[in-house]
Amino acid sequence: MLKVSNLTKIFGGLRAVDDASLSVDEGRIVALIGPNGAGKTTLFACIAGFLPINQGRVEFAGQDITGRPVHEISRLGMVRTFQITQPFAKLTVLENIILGAEPGKRGVIDGRDAAKRVKELANSLGVEIDVNLPVAELGVGQRQRVEILKVLYRGAKTLILDERTAVLVPQEVHELFDNLRRLVAAGTTVLFISHKLDEVLAVSNRITVIRQGTTVGTVAPAEV
């Protein structure tokens, strides 16, 4: 599904990512772990098109996406989400999810059809959510689920999650991981960053380790 080969990103004299490689199979959860400053977030930003790379190659779903802009990569089905969500708090859950989505044939999005689709996606995650509730009334964990529903609504098949558990309490982490397992069981692919080894061992199928910008190996959780 995703293959990154010998990727390097340089900022001035700093090699933030140095000849990093990794691969992610379809329908798997792969964790990228390493200490603070190892280059995890920079590598993700390069993969998803947020940063240009100095050398290397990124392939997704059999296509070379090296150097492509974020919106093109998103349309292919790979979407990066962020640690801190920034929804439009005064809008409803449904409005946040469909905001910016492609309109229908009539040039507008049918609200009833959209609400039905969002509820179906929520059911696939195993969560209940009131699509008419203002996002301002949601907790941090619920807002993160809205963010995931937003990218799924747009047809994302591969999710890149950047430190999604950093602001969650243990129960919310457990619920998030349960959501991810359901998605993967339905064919979605997940690549996520974490520096918490216990969480990585609990949810991932494969683990790639990065140190000082360089990937040093990929192993099964039992091998860590």
- Which residues, listed in sequence order, are joined to residue 79 by a DSSP beta bridge? 159
Report CA 13 to chain centroid distance, whole Å: 29
Q: How are strands ordered across the β-sheet holding 2-11?
A: 14-24, 2-11, 55-60, 63-64
Output the pLDDT for position 171: 84
Q: Is pLDDT above 70 for 103? A: no
User: Residue 104's pLDDT is what?
Assistant: 47
- The reported pTM is 0.81
> Computed from CA positions of residues 85, 173, 195, 49, in that sequence, does the dihedral angle turn out positive or negative?
negative
pLDDT band at 105 (very low <50, low <70, confident <90, very high): very low
